[in-house]
């Protein structure tokens, strides 16, 4: 069943000309990033970020490059899902040390400060993520990954409009093959080596947010019956707006899900299964977690964040808009609830 949401096919500005409000013509979703984030003024409410994750079997890697107006944030993080060992480095910098383009993927994202050297660079065939840092125990860390962007590979791009003054453009990419390596001290992990799959995940955010908000986000990728499956799901922050960030991506083609999905899980027991269903019947999936990345920064202050992000394996079934039905039990993936004050 096709979504009720209008599909955009031409480039469009996110804001009206003076940047003061949402451009009505920007409301809709697209298969490729088409919005130019001309966020002018309104200091304090503008949030811009690129978040990358790579799901690589027993290894997960992520990188953040973000400007939330008050400050800039950048990090590299990794977890060995077998041992539970984690590492990486995070830095907080002045917001002007982070430079994100109005059109995603059109300029390199670079920061080299406070012990983290991070580079995210796009070209016609994909994205290269490189980083160097020192672990808390003084071991050197380095990352060099290549995430492919096949010609025609689609993503879920949509405006979530809370009102004319608060809104967000998100571009969610799933099921992009990744190769490369992570090195920490004398340990070396090969990513996307022969006989194993690794999948890149990208979350682009450009918008003006309310001070306090919560969201769900999840995704995953894998192979089944000769097809490459990508899952892109969300909830909470989109409720009541008439738009969602939900879709399934089969062999690079998006089937957009316009329904708000039903999420069943326990915030206080995040390692229990997470069950997500589409009331329209196109998706019914369960994530079995292997690891919970819990973050709690800021406590009860004016600014802060609390997140349970769990990594594990998806099982379930889906149906595309053209009637293809697939069942699976071993897709790599993740799900989260975030509670944000910013």
Rounded Cα distance, 86 and 199, in Å: 19
At 1, the pLDDT band (50, 70, 90 cuts) reads low
Average pLDDT for 120-140: 97
Question: Tens digit of pLDDT for each residue in 158-177?
Answer: 999 999 999 999 999 999 99
Tell me how far apart the terminal alpha carbons of the chain are, to the nearest angstrom.
37
Query: Tokens 């050297």, residue?
Result: 117
Average pLDDT for 3-9: 96
Question: Tens digit of pLDDT for each residue in 303-319?
Answer: 889 999 999 999 999 99
Contact 87, 30 (CB under 8 A): no
Task: Specify the 3-state DSSP secondary structure of 335.
Answer: strand
Percent of the chain surpassing pLDDT 70: 99
Mean pLDDT of the chain: 96
Q: Which positions ≥6 away from 173 have C-beta within 8 Å?
A: 155, 200, 201, 202, 203
Task: List the beta bridge partners of residue 173.
Answer: 202
Question: Tens digit of pLDDT for each residue in 42-78?
Answer: 888 899 999 999 999 999 999 999 999 989 999 999 9
pLDDT at residue 272 greater than cutoff 90: yes
Contact 322, 340 (CB under 8 A): no
pLDDT of residue 261: 98
At 2, the pLDDT band (50, 70, 90 cuts) reads confident
pLDDT of residue 168: 98
Question: Tens digit of pLDDT for each residue in 15-42?
Answer: 999 999 999 999 999 999 999 999 998 8
pLDDT of residue 210: 94
Q: Which positions ≥6 away from 187 have C-beta within 8 Å?
A: none
At 300, the pLDDT band (50, 70, 90 cuts) reads low
Contact 201, 53 (CB under 8 A): yes
pTM, entire model? 0.97
At 145, the pLDDT band (50, 70, 90 cuts) reads very high
């Amino acid at each position: 069943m096709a979504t009720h949401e209008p599909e955009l096919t031409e480039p469009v500005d996110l804001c009206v000309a003076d940047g003061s409000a949402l451009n009505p013509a920007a409301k809709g979703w697209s298969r490729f990033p088409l919005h130019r984030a001309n966020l002018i003024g309104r200091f304090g409410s503008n949030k811009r970020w690129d978040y990358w994750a790579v799901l690589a079997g027993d290894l997960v890697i992520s990188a953040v490059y973000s400007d939330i107006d008050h400050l800039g944030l950048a990090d590299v993080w990794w977890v060995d899902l077998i041992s539970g060992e984690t590492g990486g480095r995070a830095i907080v910098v002045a917001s002007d040390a982070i430079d994100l383009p109005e059109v995603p993927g059109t300029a390199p994202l670079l920061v080299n400060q406070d012990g983290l050297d991070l580079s995210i660079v796009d070209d016609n065939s994909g994205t290269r993520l490189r980083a160097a840092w020192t672990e808390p125990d003084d071991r050197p860390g380095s990352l060099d990954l290549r995430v492919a962007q096949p010609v025609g590979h689609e993503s879920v791009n949509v405006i979530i409009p809370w009102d004319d003054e608060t809104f967000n453009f998100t571009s969610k990419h799933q099921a992009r093959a990744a190769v490369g390596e992570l090195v920490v001290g004398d340990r070396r992990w090969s990513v996307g080596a022969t006989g194993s799959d690794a999948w890149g995940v990208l979350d682009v955010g450009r918008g003006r947010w309310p001070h306090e908000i919560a969201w769900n986000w999840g995704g995953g990728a894998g192979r089944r019956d000769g097809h490459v499956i990508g899952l892109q799901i969300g909830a909470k922050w989109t409720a009541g707006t008439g738009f969602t960030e939900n879709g399934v991506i089969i062999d690079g083609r998006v089937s957009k899900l316009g329904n708000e999905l039903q999420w069943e899980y326990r915030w206080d027991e995040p390692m229990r299964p997470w069950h997500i269903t589409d009331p329209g019947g196109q998706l019914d999936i369960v994530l079995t977690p292997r690891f919970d990345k819990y973050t709690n920064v800021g406590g009860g202050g004016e600014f802060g964040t609390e997140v349970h992000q769990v990594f594990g394996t998806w099982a379930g079934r889906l149906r595309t808009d053209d009637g293809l039905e697939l069942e699976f039990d071993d897709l790599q993936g993740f799900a989260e609830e975030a509670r944000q004050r910013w």
